[in-house]
Amino acid sequence: MGLIEGSKNKYYLYRDNDEKVVSVLPLSPNVNNVGNLTGAYFSGVDKNMTNDELLNFKAVHNLYYEQELGSQLTLFDI
């Protein structure tokens, strides 16, 4: 998969308040270019990550795929 093909599959990660904070551009089957839209997560504009690194990054920073937004339970939902 090249840059042009990967751009068709670009997606974003969001904070729980629906703020778009990270862009993800798949470059090859196990390499993703991760764009730092807010400057809050790492120095520089972008960084390449494997799928496992990206999933770990997503979990550590409590980020969500668009389809996951609004599906989290809060303390008040219990």
**28: domain range?**
3-66
Beta-sheet strands, E only, within 1-78: 11-14, 20-28, 31-36, 46-49, 64-65
Let me know if residue 77 belongs to a domain: no
Q: What percent of the chain has pLDDT over 70?
A: 82
What does the pLDDT look like over 32-54, one tens digit per residue? 999 999 888 888 889 999 999 99
Position 75 in a domain: no
Q: Does a structural domain hold residue 72?
A: no
Q: What percentage of the chain carries pLDDT values higher than 90?
A: 65
Q: Per the domain annotation, does 45 fall within a domain?
A: yes
Does residue 59 lie within any of the structural domains? yes
Banded pLDDT at 74 (limits 50, 70, 90):
low
In a domain, 47, yes or no: yes
Cut 0.95: pTM above it: no
Helix or strand (DSSP H, E) at 4 = helix 3-7
Residue 73 lies in a domain: no
pLDDT greater than 80 at residue 25: yes
Task: Please tell me the total count of domains within the chain.
Answer: 1
Average pLDDT, the chain: 86
User: CA angle at residue 35 from 74 to 65, to 5 degrees?
Assistant: 30
